[in-house]
Structure formats: C-alpha cells, structure tokens
Structure 1
Amino acid sequence: MEPRQLIEKWVDAFNKGDAEMIAEFYAESAVNHQVANEPVVGKSAIKQMFANEFSAAEMVCIVENIFQDGDWAMLEWKDPIGLRGCGFFQFEDGLIVFQRGYWDKLSFLKAHNLPIPN
C-alpha cells in the first residue's frame, strides 16, 4: 500500500478515537514528534499518547490535502472548530517510522478548555 493510502487509513483510525487501532500504523521503534511537545518514542508510548489525547479532547481530522514523495506522505488538515495543521510521515515496510506534526497548541488547549501550562 502506498503512503498516501496509509495516511487515509490513519485518518480513519484517528477519527474513531481508537488508540489501539492507530498504534498499529507505527513501527516498534517509531518516533512521533508533535513539535509543540517532546518527541514520543516507541509504538507503546505512541499508543499511550493517543489514548491520553483521545480521552482529553474530541478531535476530528478533516483532510485538506495528502501529498506523497517516495516513502514520505504529507497531510494538511483542519478540524470542525477551525484549527489547522500539517503532518509529515515517513514509512518503511508499510509502517510509520517517523512522524512530525505542526499545529497551534495554545489554540487547541483554549478551544478544548484544557489547562494552559506555565
């Protein structure tokens, strides 16, 4: 399966809010670095990150664009409340080995009435 198709399936899993399902897209030693946060290393830590995030806020990813370049896919997204961002995913053997995401953390926290760190 091409990276673009894998991102489409990843978005479906994300929108279901299922940490177990989304974790299956990651290699055991994958790194997920949402630049507003510290990098998360390893499939089980990534699964826990998603479980925590899905329990803290209702999140919806609406695809605006997906681009593919070799073993990389780029996702441009928005959500129903107006937040926007993008993600870069590197694949090996059909699994995400590296992910980097860019989005406005302050706007996200305010929109979901979550605590703002000092």
Structure 2
Amino acid sequence: MTPRQVLQQWIEAFNAAYADQLAALYHENAVNHQVANAPVEGREAIREMFRGEFSRAKMVCIPDNILCDGEWAVLEWKDPLGLRGCGFFHVVEERIKFQRGYWDKLSFLRMHGLPIPSES
C-alpha cells in the first residue's frame, strides 16, 4: 500500500471509531505524537489511546487536503464542529512508523463538554 492508501484506511477506521483497525495500521514500535499531548509509543499503547479517546468523544475526520511525498502523507482535516488540524504520517513498509498531529486541545475539550485540566 502507498502512504495515501494507508491514510485512506486510517481515515475510514478513525471515522468508524475502530481502535483495533487503527492500531493494525501502525508498526509495533510506532510513535503517535499529538503535540497537545505526550507522545504515545508502541502499537498497543496507541490502540489504548484511541479506545480512550473514542469512549470520551465522537470524533470525525473530514479530509480537506491529502499530500504525499515519498514515505510521507500529510492530512489537513476538519470536523463537523469546526475544529481543524493537520497530521503528518511517516509510512514505512505499508505501516505508520511515526505520526504527529496539530490541533487545538482547548477548543476540542470545550466543543465536547469535556473537563479542562487545571494548570499547576
């Protein structure tokens, strides 16, 4: 699969809230770093991250742009509530080795009525 095909499968699994299918798209030792959160390392930890997130909020990824260059796919996205973000996916041997995402965590929490962590 090309990086674009992997990303298309990722979007489908994400929108269906299928944490197991998402996790299967990652290398065993992959890293998912949503910059608003600490990096998550390893396929099983990534699976648990998605399970937790899907249990807290209904999330939908509507692609605005998908750009590919070699082993990299870039996804510019929005959701039905107006949140926007961008994700970078390094795809090696048909699996995601590294992912980095940029989005506004405070807006996400407010839109979904989730608690806002207090600062220390």
Instruction: Extract structure 1 runs of 4+ deviating beyond 3 A.
Output: none
Matches within 5 A, 1:91-106: 91-106=91-106
Distance in 2, matches of 1:71 and 1:13, equals 20
2:78 aligned partner: 78
Question: TM (normalized to structure 2)?
Answer: 0.97
User: Matched residue of 2:27: which SS?
Assistant: strand
Cα shift at 1:86: 0.4
Alignment length, in residue pairs?
Answer: 118
Distance in 2, matches of 1:41 and 1:48, equals 11
Query: Given residue 85 of structure 1, which amino acid in structure 2 is its aligned partner?
Result: G
1:59 aligned partner: 59
Identity of aligned residues (%): 62
Deviations 1:53-80 (A, max 9, x none): 0000000000101000100000000000
1:37 aligned partner: 37
User: Matched residue of 1:116: which SS?
Assistant: coil
Question: TM (normalized to structure 1)?
Answer: 0.99
Distance in 2, matches of 1:80 and 1:74, equals 20
Deviations 1:12-59 (A, max 9, x none): 000000111110100000000000000000000000000000000000
Distance in 2, matches of 1:103 and 1:31, equals 17
Cα shift at 1:5: 1.4
Distance in 2, matches of 1:40 and 1:2, equals 24
